[in-house]
Amino acid sequence: MRVRKKPWAEQEVQENSRVIQNAEEKKGHWAEFFGNHNPIYVEIGCGKGGFLTKSAAAEPDVNFIGIERQLTVVAVAARRAGEDAPNLAFVWSDAKKLSDFFEAGEFQRLYLNFCDPWPKKRTYKRRLTYREFLRGYREAMGENAEIFFKTDNRGLFEFSLNEFCAEDWKLSNISLDLHNSDFTGNIMTEYEEKFSAKGMPIYRLEARSRK
């Protein structure tokens, strides 16, 4: 996601208590940060935070962490979240290795929402559902790992189905047209709202580790 640079973004990131700049220091101590031992759900590439802000309001007994590498974007997300969501935080960093930020099992669910499809064949290893990434997620989450994945890109979805199966994840709630299915409780991202308004199908699945 690219957004125009905001003159206040750097100060917002420095001063907003929701923004964690050195997440490695929180590894093993997220319960202390949130002040409770509630489950922790993580979104990679959280954008402007609309999905997580709504999720945090809907599930106050779950702690949500959004990881975003772009300074302006994470500043917008933190500012928009306001003061009413003590169960929400943002990490300003590149999520290359989640085990740098979390002890094994410290978070229980990962959201991959509308990540870059990297459509060219030579770039397939950059897709966040590529098998090496899936192994890293499992390592970070432990034996009870689960991933909720959504995309508007059919090619990426088909690729992801194969990758999850190759790594022996158990799949459920697979949808080829989410908004015309009987699935309930869906919370839309900003991208999802735009895509669905154009009549584009949304693909979704849930994956859980068998190990």
pLDDT in tens, 156-168: 999 999 999 999 9
SS3 77: helix
pTM: 0.93
SS3 90: strand
SS3 75: helix
Angle at 107 between CA 136 and CA 92, to 5 degrees: 80
- Of 60, 104, 80, nearest to 19 by C-alpha is 80
Cα-to-chain-centroid distance, residue 185: 17
pLDDT of residue 160: 98
Type of residue found at 24: E
Distance CA 118, CA 62 (A): 32
Residue 2 has pLDDT above 70, yes or no: no
pLDDT of residue 6: 77
One of 61, 100, 116, 182 is an active-site residue; which one? 116
pLDDT of residue 11: 86
Domains identified in the chain and CATH numbers: 9-209 (3.40.50.150)
Residue 36 has pLDDT above 70, yes or no: yes
Burial, 111: exposed, middle or buried (Cβ in 10 Å; 0-12, 13-18, 19+)?
buried
Residue 84 has pLDDT above 90, yes or no: no
Judge whether 116 counts as a catalytic residue: yes
* Mean residue pLDDT across the chain: 91
Residue 5 has pLDDT above 80, yes or no: no
